[in-house]
């Protein structure tokens, strides 16, 4: 599940990841669901369905970490990667959201190859 | 200024000390004078007392003469002694090694009595013992009668002398009492003036004590004090006190100004920090906004390129031409967005260095508003 308020970015990422299904040397087929609004994403979220959340930090209505916190309450096992195109202090975020793991952090813009590799690494 | 203060205080204190010294020396002088009067009266008593002895001696010599065991010259010697003793008593001078002052006038009556008795005695001696010298006359006169006469005359003289001695003694007693009173009075006067000097010194120096206390307060950092001052007084210490208060006022004003300046500086510093923060925020937001459109451009360009490569493969699950156009449109739109952002940032720079030129033209406000995504 990808959540980013910019539709162009969700479109790009969805296409990039899905097209990698055709030629990549892994045998997994990744299905991508995109959302531009965190509230819509939260209402569609269900347990034991999604493998990985790709959440932008700067979102309208609720920030990415808040959203992640709520989603983790629904499914504690889901993996998370955060994205941002700004400058973010991970230490400050860790203090405010101690429950959220900040291990995977992607600084936009990224190449599609890098994005896919990163996602694969997280899924393994 | 400092020298003037010193001279004024010093002159005030010096004047008082001089008065005190004069009083002490004067007291000693007066007391010494009265003391010497006392001792001179004592000497007079001594000499007057000697009359008794000399008179008795004269009587003895007369007795001897009448007995015929002594001649007239012994009588003359004693008579001369008595004569000079009595004269010296009134006139003063050196008698028997004692320096004598003239007898005070209030005793002249008593002395006259003594002198009169002496003259009677002397005349009797001359008439009866010395002048007659008619052969055997002395013998013819009844010696017993002569003895009785001389005895009574001698007793008269002794009595008169004793009266003088007694009176002089009483005078000494009276003087002693007066001297005591005088000593006590002068003592009290001296103490009083000494106390007055101490009081005046304390009063003169009081402002200095007060100022010293105030100074130590100032030293501790307490500037909210002022020394009570006498507006009418024009002496140097009052001027000093007033100057001290003025100095404190000046320091307080300076401190106040400094505090205000410090506050202004702190405020300016805070504003500067705020401006710095705003600038940082702006740069963060600008960086964020600049990076956002790059992602679709980069990502879609890569996707389209790999699709084109794959077209040549046998394996064909390529996207349609319509889809390709759609992706290219996204790339173009984001590139335009990037361009617009760049121009906006340049506009900010132009606004900051005041070189922005406005492109004024008519426009459709609805369209402008509709282009803003948040309002849409």
Tokens at B358, concatenated: 């406005």
C-alpha pair distances (Å), A124 with each of A51, A103, A120:
11, 14, 6
Q: Which of B285, B294, B303 sits opposite A16 (nearest CB)?
A: B303
C-alpha pair distances (Å), B249 with each of B215, B243, B263:
14, 10, 21
pLDDT mean over A38-50: 93
SS3 B141: coil
d(CA B196, CA A111): 106
Residues B40, B182: one domain? yes
Residue in chain A lying closest to B280 (CA): A87
d(CA A13, CA B299): 7
pLDDT at B221: 84
Residues B262, B310: one domain? yes
Q: Is B221 domain-assigned?
A: no
> DSSP assignment of chain A, as one string?
-EE-S-HHHHHHHHHHHHHHHHH-SS-------EES-HHHHHHH--TTT-SEEEEESS-SSS-HHHHHHHHHHH-TT-EEEEEESS---HHHHHHH-TTS----EEESS--HHHHHHHHHHHH-
d(CA A100, CA A78): 11
Residue A32, pLDDT > 90, answer yes
Task: Give the helix/strand (H/E) hosting B95.
Answer: strand B93-95
Report ipTM (2 d.p.).
0.87
d(CA B92, CA B361): 142
Question: CB–CB of B288 and A9 under 8 A?
Answer: no
pLDDT at B96: 72
d(CA B313, CA A22): 12
What is the span of the domain harbouring residue A37? 2-123
Q: Is B350 domain-assigned?
A: yes
d(CA B197, CA B35): 29
CB A64, CB A82: distance < 8 Å: yes
Q: Where among B207, B229, B252 does a domain terminate?
A: B207
Please confirm whether the linkage preceding B256 is cis (ω < 30° from 0). no
Residues B268, B146: one domain? no
Domains: count for chain B: 2
Task: Look up tokens 């009176």; give the residue.
Answer: B167
Q: How confident is the model at residue A14 (pLDDT cuts 50, 70, 90)?
A: very high
Question: CB–CB of B330 and A86 under 8 A?
Answer: no
CA distance A16 to chain B (A): 6
Residues B288, B347: one domain? yes
Chain B partners of A89 at a C-beta cutoff of 8 Å? none
Q: Which of A2, A36, A87, A112 to mutate to test the interface with B (most CBs of B within 10 A)?
A: A112
- Summarised one tens digit per residue, pLDDT across range B107-154 is 888 899 989 999 998 888 888 776 555 544 555 567 788 888 888 888
Residue from A82, A26, A73 nearest A52 by CA: A82
Question: CB–CB of A112 and B303 under 8 A?
Answer: yes
Chain B partners of A19 at a C-beta cutoff of 8 Å? 303, 306-307
d(CA B184, CA B187): 5
Residue A22, pLDDT > 80, answer no
Tokens at A21, concatenated: 């299904």
Residues B184, B246: one domain? no
Q: Which of B284, B291, B317 sits opposite A109 (nearest CB)?
A: B291
CA distance A58 to chain B (A): 10
pLDDT at B317: 55
Question: CB–CB of A9 and B292 under 8 A?
Answer: yes
Q: Is B128 domain-assigned?
A: yes
d(CA A7, CA A51): 22
Domains: count for chain A: 1
Q: What are phi and psi of A107, to 5 degrees?
A: -95, 110
Question: CB–CB of B299 and A112 under 8 A?
Answer: yes
Beta carbons within 8 Å of B341's beta carbon, 6+ residues apart: B286, B289, B290, B293
Question: Is the CB of residue A18 less than 8 Å away from at least one CB of chain B?
Answer: no
Q: Which of B286, B292, B375 to mutate to test the interface with A (most CBs of A within 10 A)?
A: B292
pLDDT at B85: 87
Residue A62, pLDDT > 70, answer yes
Neighbours of A86 (CB within 10 A): 16
Chain A partners of B306 at a C-beta cutoff of 8 Å? 19, 23
pLDDT mean over B289-302: 89
Q: How far is CA B281 from its chain centroid? A: 69
Residues B276, B201: one domain? no
Residue B253, pLDDT > 90, answer yes
- Summarised one tens digit per residue, pLDDT across range B169-199 is 998 899 899 999 999 998 898 888 888 888 8
- Summarised one tens digit per residue, pLDDT across range B6-34 is 556 677 778 878 888 998 899 899 889 98
Q: Is B67 domain-assigned?
A: yes
pLDDT mean over A12-41: 84
Tokens at B375, concatenated: 């309002």
Residues B78, B135: one domain? yes
Q: Is B142 domain-assigned?
A: yes
Residue of higher predicted confidence among A70 and B72? A70
- Domain of B328: which CATH number? 1.10.287.130
Residues B36, B146: one domain? yes
Q: Which of B285, B287, B302 sits opposite A112 (nearest CB)?
A: B302
Question: Is the CB of residue A21 less than 8 Å away from at least one CB of chain B?
Answer: no
Residues B172, B242: one domain? no
Residues B262, B131: one domain? no
- Domain of B128: which CATH number? 1.20.120.1730
Which of A49-53, B102-106, B114-118, B169-173 is the least confident region? B102-106
Q: Is B229 domain-assigned?
A: no
Predicted model pTM = 0.48
What is the span of the domain harbouring residue B300? 238-371
- Summarised one tens digit per residue, pLDDT across range B317-354 is 567 788 888 889 999 999 999 999 888 888 888 988 88
Percentage of the residues of chain A whose pLDDT score is greater than 70: 95
pLDDT at B312: 59
Residues B173, B25: one domain? yes
- Summarised one tens digit per residue, pLDDT across range B198-223 is 887 887 778 888 888 888 988 888 88
Task: Tell me what the pLDDT averaged over chain B comes to.
Answer: 84
Question: Is the CB of residue A9 less than 8 Å away from at least one CB of chain B?
Answer: yes
- Domain of A48: which CATH number? 3.40.50.2300
Residues B13, B144: one domain? yes
Beta carbons within 8 Å of B43's beta carbon, 6+ residues apart: B98, B99, B100, B101
């Amino acid at each position: 599940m990808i959540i980013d308020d910019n539709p162009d970015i969700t479109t790009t990422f969805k296409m990039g990841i899905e097209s990698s299904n055709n030629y990549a040397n892994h045998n997994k087929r990744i299905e991508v669901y995109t959302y531009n609004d965190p509230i819509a994403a939260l209402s569609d979220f269900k347990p034991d369905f999604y493998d990985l959340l790709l959440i932008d930090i700067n979102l309208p209505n609720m920030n990415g970490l808040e959203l992640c916190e709520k989603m983790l309450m629904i499914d504690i096992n889901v993996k998370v990667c955060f994205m941002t195109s700004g400058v973010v202090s991970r230490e400050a975020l860790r203090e405010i959201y101690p429950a959220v793991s900040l291990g995977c952090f992607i600084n936009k813009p990224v190449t599609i190859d890098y994005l896919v590799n990163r996602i694969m690494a997280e899924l393994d | 200024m400092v020298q003037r203060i010193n001279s004024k205080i010093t002159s005030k204190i010096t004047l008082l000390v001089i008065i005190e010294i004069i009083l002490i020396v004067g007291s000693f002088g007066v007391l010494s004078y009265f003391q010497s009067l006392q001792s001179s009266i004592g000497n007079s008593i001594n000499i007057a007392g000697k009359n008794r002895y000399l008179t008795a001696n004269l009587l003895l010599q007369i007795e001897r003469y009448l007995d015929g065991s002594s001649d007239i010259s012994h009588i003359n010697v004693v008579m001369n002694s008595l004569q000079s003793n009595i004269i010296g008593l009134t006139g003063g001078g050196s008698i028997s090694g004692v320096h004598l002052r003239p007898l005070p006038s209030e005793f002249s009556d008593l002395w006259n009595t003594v002198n009169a008795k002496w003259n009677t005695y002397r005349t009797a001696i001359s008439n009866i013992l010395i002048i007659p010298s008619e052969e055997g006359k002395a013998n013819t006169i009844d010696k017993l009668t002569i003895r009785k006469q001389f005895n009574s005359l001698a007793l008269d003289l002794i009595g008169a002398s004793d009266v003088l001695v007694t009176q002089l003694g009483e005078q000494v007693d009276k003087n002693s009492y007066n001297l005591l009173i005088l000593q006590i009075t002068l003592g009290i006067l001296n103490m009083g003036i000494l106390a007055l000097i101490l009081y005046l010194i304390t009063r003169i120096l009081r402002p200095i004590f007060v100022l010293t206390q105030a100074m130590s307060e100032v030293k501790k950092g307490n500037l909210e004090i002022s020394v009570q001052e006498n507006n009418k007084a024009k002496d140097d210490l009052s001027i000093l006190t007033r100057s001290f208060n003025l100095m404190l006022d000046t320091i307080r004003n300076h401190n106040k100004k400094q505090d205000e300046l410090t506050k202004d500086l702190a405020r300016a510093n805070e504003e500067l920090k705020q401006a710095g923060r705003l600038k940082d925020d702006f740069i963060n937001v600008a960086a964020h906004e600049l990076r956002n459109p790059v992602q679709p451009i980069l990502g879609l360009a890569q996707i389209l390129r790999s699709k084109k490569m794959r077209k040549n493969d046998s394996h064909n699950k390529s996207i349609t031409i319509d889809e390709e156009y759609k992706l290219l449109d996204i790339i173009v739109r984001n590139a335009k967005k990037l361009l617009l952002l760049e121009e906006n940032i340049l506009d900010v720079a132009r606004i900051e260095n005041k070189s922005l030129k406005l492109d004024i033209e008519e426009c459709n406000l609805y369209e402008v508003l509709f282009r803003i995504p948040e309002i849409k």
